[in-house]
Structure 1
Amino acid sequence: MYNESRVKGKIALITGATSGIGKACAFALANLGMNLIITGRRENLLHDIKEDLEKNFSIKVFPIQLDVRDSKEVQEKLGSLPKEWKDIDVLINNAGLALGLDKLYTNTSEDISTVIDTNVKGLLYVTNTIVPHMIERDVPATIINMGSVAGDAAYAGGAVYCASKAAVKILSDGLRIDLVDTKIKVTDVKPGLVETDFSLVRFKGDQERAKKVYQGIEPLTPENIAETVAYIANLPANVHIAEITIVCNNQADGRTIFKK
């Protein structure tokens, strides 16, 4: 039932597609035959990924260098897509990050702004640019927001990041309510520990500290999350997954982890 692609030839837009979960999602959706708009800040990586995808799959890829924190840039670049790329069927709001693991009152204003502007405002800017045309088309579509188990409860040193992912959950819920009279579905995907560059970014390049996050446990891979995203994107029109939590074995939630 679910092996057949329902989205072949359709268009997906993925933010933060140059690495980690976003990149893995690009390959998973390409495997379903979807054409892709991939965005990220590193233009060279976007073009490398485009070349790789088009070499291995019979699809088209449109790369856009984009900083989701910049509302004007989002509106200009995503609000004026070429005609052949306007009809987006799947939107994946994946761009996100954490910075530091410090007590709330020691976070720098710069780090706070970067996290909130990326994880919350960026999601809003992209969503508000894409959704009106989705509604206008009046065809089945899916919005997948990349949340986190961190959005369910705060953990030590993660208050700002946790708050941003709690916002993703509430924004997803609110958008789902606002779109209840349409053919558009909204899913909040909430991963636990996934081994990507996430911790390397959080610890600002400290490789040893980043490695310790995943020691003593077998974390999820970006491909694990991408498989779930592809499954959600490929569901029948009448099936709507509102929220899904994905953790590795030995992780119960954002705070309860057993390491050997």
Structure 2
Amino acid sequence: MDGLGLTFDTIAERYDRVRPGYPAAVFDDVATLAGARAGTRVLEIGPGPGTATRALLARGWRVHAVEPGAALAGLAVANLAGQPFTVDVTRFDDWVPDRSYDMLFSATAYHWVAPEHRWRLAAGVLDPGGALALVTNRTVAGGNFNDIYQASADLHARHAPEVEFGLSPSAGEILAGVHAAADDIGAVWEVAEPKAGHSRAGASFTPPVIRSYEWETTYDTDDAAALLSTYSVYLGVPPERRTPLLTGIADIVRTDFGGVATRRYLAILAVAHRREPGQDRQA
């Protein structure tokens, strides 16, 4: 994770409050596709404040996490107190494992692991046949966030010309690219998570099974602006320009959209397995 990724740690409580979670069906499918059962040992990369971790623990899995943000890790420990959860405060790139795991899980965080290391590191911590389960949320067309973005184009040009926010694609556009890349989880993740960068998992992992889920959530005026303020593209804008930008967006939501912002998401899950020694790549 680079310095920009670590800025999430400066807004840990806000991140915990407004960032979206994931549909329950995601975790049902993780359990089925990974063959997970009570007691499964999960290594979670980048749990943040425990947004997805709660659902892992609810299924009786034991979770050890690697989280580079000390404030986020502390919040996760507080949120998950009394459950089989532990965390090391470090980057996965720098972490030294002392055991192997049944599953590596990461929710909207694995793109922060360096592309040149991420698949080797994943293979190195999994038992043969162990599952690699990655999930991310993408904003897609639907709801009114595209309209809010269009209405705030002048604000963005004035206060944050470096933000190329664009308009959200349709779920169908994203999924067409994801399924076209389905022979390698690295290729899938390059499409599913645009910040991931180019890298291939290669022979270490089986081709992934892919599932997708469209869903939406609604934010009030303050939370709509607060949500945007938790994304790296906005955190990278200096505060003296970020504040009037987000205030202006909140004003647009309040006056032009009745104080309601609806954001539609596409959650994408990909589950691959570490190949058994000698396993044929075409098997």
For normalisation by structure 2, the TM-score amounts to 0.45
Greater Cα radius of gyration, structure 1 or 2 = 2
For normalisation by structure 1, the TM-score amounts to 0.48
